[in-house]
Structure 1
């Protein structure tokens, strides 16, 4: 990779004026996500406002062999944003227009910088919503790039199922459109799925066309506690195996409940806990609630607490979404190390028990949480990023957790993505298929300027 030349700097400054910056504070902000990974600063940051501008930037950088890294809300957790070879960070947050909504077709098109909360505020009066909820108020372009999912995935799927089409700027600066608004197609390669989850290593997503859903007639939420995590996981597995269409089913271990109580001012019972949400008609929700209540009771669940008022549900899920910050807040000046894996639901109990055993003697605060309805769970650690021994301890725990998940047919990451943090496990998980991934990368981005150092070993 080449450094920024004076000629390239002059061209970019002339085109973008004050939207081109080499401010140290902004470069530091754009050189890291929210987790523990060390920052690697870009040489410059540009705030793009249109797809055409992104194309201009990429063409100029490609001509000089300068790396480009897309930036949305900065909420990633696996080192996706670090400029490991320098270059230009293209901030898409000002591309924040909802360009089209079709209530009849239940779809919309948004610019990449639109956040999920912004979109749902825009849709509310139309009786529609977009359900993918990774917790953070991430941009939809970033969510597509990392193939995000979240608390609603057990019912509504992930970004993989909910992205219909994309506008992408390729490493040459060429602009292409993938997919379309039809709900199915047999025409050619599925390029949309190629770019969803590519983490900016094949191109920069500037527009996203998404599936939408009608707002449920009834939404009901509940918490129940268990004496052991085994009981909670067993209940969750039964709910999935019986096909009960819960909208959310979240596990929070007792360590997380303790942290959340302190951080969010709640008084939840400090036990291993499942949180549920039910969507549908009054009769449908009632049936779901009765079936889940029976399963929970059979598995030792107790203290069912209902949160049916919108403000109560909002407070409950906000507390869950703040889990990362709740764990980190237990130590002054700590950073969060968040790792996730996803396993077949039938092996979820084994894996969580294995992970709990790994955490038994961990010297730093840690908690387990997860979207257990689809076999995805997380561990959040509060680490001192300057303490090498502490980082090595957590890295060893993370390695054992990931390898155990892969050994039972799972994946090294269910939703955070690979970034720089999970590169070491890619070949272990995918074997020789990694060679094909590398061939695709070479074909699309032969100079390697698109977010270099991410995903591929």
Structure 2
């Protein structure tokens, strides 16, 4: 499916009219229908066309979510859950119109159980807000996609980020959740126990379902102790292949890296301009280690020796928190720094993930495609788990550029699948990758459709996504 030809979902004009009237009367100023706010709630940080909802409602608790969903179910009107709008594959678009359910006012931290290393939060709490709240407890929540995303949205898209190589993704760090289903009923998928074998794993069914099976109203999350010591730094390499080979060797030797991130030479050029970094304009690895004072120093030295074997270095590392913060701020700002490489362009940010043994080969072939197609497309990646991103800068008004970009993305996704990888390591399917999920999962997609039709027979929860 071409991104430039997104399919529409049939509209129910009569039902939409009724729902708009009821919500306006019920929620007053917490229900908005202005064009600007509706377009903001179909916002995507990529070039996928904007498909706005008919209205935006701001519930403040799970009972109000139930109320909205029941009303929409009665009149067959779509409901699209919205966190902070930082998703990349058109997840919050409304191809059939309907109601955007903005969870930003559901932003309470309901409980912190420091002794059990867990907490309970509402879906509108952002990752930065949670960690600010936890600071005095000596605990933190490690999942960190580049944006300050909401935790409900992070669970819905099964997000990960730079710490995933050590701490896992949202899939591993959500113990339980509550959600409102398509008929307005309320479910709780588990307790706070660290493990359970009681029935189907509904938590992980909802995590990653992109708002198509239920609307998350609370999350029970794992927490971790803030490390005693942290060291980290940047190491340049002569080529992407050598950098990837060093990553593979580091992982295979069992060095417990917390973060190991790749940027190619083009991305580093953008970082030098935007974030004022002073490193060589070459492929680089950003690396971080967590542990004791002696442990992080030993791990940094061992990594430096491995890097040198592959032509890398010097590895400049530090324990100084301010210096490390500057590095990771630059890494998290990679999206914005990439935009400086072609001012005025729009971006298409895509990601794939392959077995780590195929990583160097996959990135090398991807770079060859970029060169052949003459694209401006920096590469960054959470390469410790085989996941990397390509951000193509393009003119969305130029049909030739759109065609070239979509051809490139298709080749990238199919290459990853052919290498026994996935077309998306963390962005999700949404609208943008609907054309590839059946290539990757085959008849398993029919099982997904059956689950969707059972839990949402009227098709009102985020329709037109995944398949």
Aligned counterpart, 1:94: 105
Q: 1:183, CA displacement in angstroms?
A: 0.7
Q: 1:67 aligns with which of 74, 78, 87?
A: 78
Q: 1:150 aligns with which of 141, 154, 161?
A: 161
**Aligned partners of 1:189, 1:280: CA distance in 2, in Å?**
36
Provide Cα deviations, 1:308-334, integer angstroms capped at 9, x if missing partner: 222211111111111111112322332
1:84 aligns with 2:100: no
Q: 1:386, CA displacement in angstroms?
A: 1.8
TM-score (norm 2): 0.96
Question: Is this contact kept in 1: 2:180–2:187, CA < 8 A?
Answer: yes
**Aligned partners of 1:70, 1:314: CA distance in 2, in Å?**
32
Q: 1:61, CA displacement in angstroms?
A: 0.5
Aligned counterpart, 2:456: 445
**Aligned partners of 1:231, 1:292: CA distance in 2, in Å?**
14
1:410 aligns with 2:421: yes
Question: Is this contact kept in 1: 2:351–2:388, CA < 8 A?
Answer: yes
**Aligned partners of 2:199, 2:70: CA distance in 1, in Å?**
27
Aligned counterpart, 2:360: 349
Question: Is this contact kept in 1: 2:235–2:314, CA < 8 A?
Answer: yes
Aligned counterpart, 1:197: 208
1:366-385 maps to which residues of 2 (within 5 A)?
Answer: 366-385=377-396
Q: 2:196 aligns with which of 170, 174, 185?
A: 185
Provide Cα deviations, 1:364-389, integer angstroms capped at 9, x if missing partner: 42111100100000001122222221
**Aligned partners of 2:81, 2:44: CA distance in 1, in Å?**
12
Quote the RMSD (CA, aligned, Å).
1.0
Provide Cα deviations, 1:7-39, integer angstroms capped at 9, x if missing partner: 322211121100111011100100122111110
Question: Is this contact kept in 2: 1:69–1:88, CA < 8 A?
Answer: yes
Question: Is this contact kept in 2: 1:2–1:66, CA < 8 A?
Answer: yes
**Aligned partners of 1:350, 1:330: CA distance in 2, in Å?**
26
- Structure 1 counterpart SS, 2:372: coil
1:2 aligns with 2:15: no
1:9-408 maps to which residues of 2 (within 5 A)?
Answer: 9-408=20-419
**Aligned partners of 1:349, 1:264: CA distance in 2, in Å?**
27
1:429 aligns with 2:424: no
Question: Is this contact kept in 2: 1:327–1:365, CA < 8 A?
Answer: no
**Aligned partners of 1:184, 1:250: CA distance in 2, in Å?**
31
Q: 1:290, CA displacement in angstroms?
A: 2.2
Q: 1:187, CA displacement in angstroms?
A: 0.4
- Structure 1 counterpart SS, 2:413: helix
**Aligned partners of 2:373, 2:133: CA distance in 1, in Å?**
44
Aligned counterpart, 2:4: none
Question: Is this contact kept in 2: 1:147–1:158, CA < 8 A?
Answer: yes
Q: 1:5, CA displacement in angstroms?
A: 4.0
**Aligned partners of 2:93, 2:21: CA distance in 1, in Å?**
24
Instruction: Number of aligned residue pairs: give it.
Output: 456
- Structure 2 counterpart SS, 1:104: helix
Moved more, 234-243 or 141-150: 234-243
**Aligned partners of 2:16, 2:331: CA distance in 1, in Å?**
46
- Structure 1 counterpart SS, 2:116: coil
- Unmatched 5+ stretches in structure 1: none
Provide Cα deviations, 1:192-242, integer angstroms capped at 9, x if missing partner: 000000000001111111000000000111111011111100000011111
Moved more, 163-172 or 359-368: 359-368
**Aligned partners of 1:363, 1:283: CA distance in 2, in Å?**
47
**Aligned partners of 1:25, 1:342: CA distance in 2, in Å?**
36
Q: 1:53, CA displacement in angstroms?
A: 0.7
Moved more, 270-279 or 304-313: 304-313
* Residue 226 to residue 50, structure 1, CA distance change in 2 (3 Å): same
- Unmatched 5+ stretches in structure 2: 1-10
Moved more, 4-13 or 141-150: 4-13
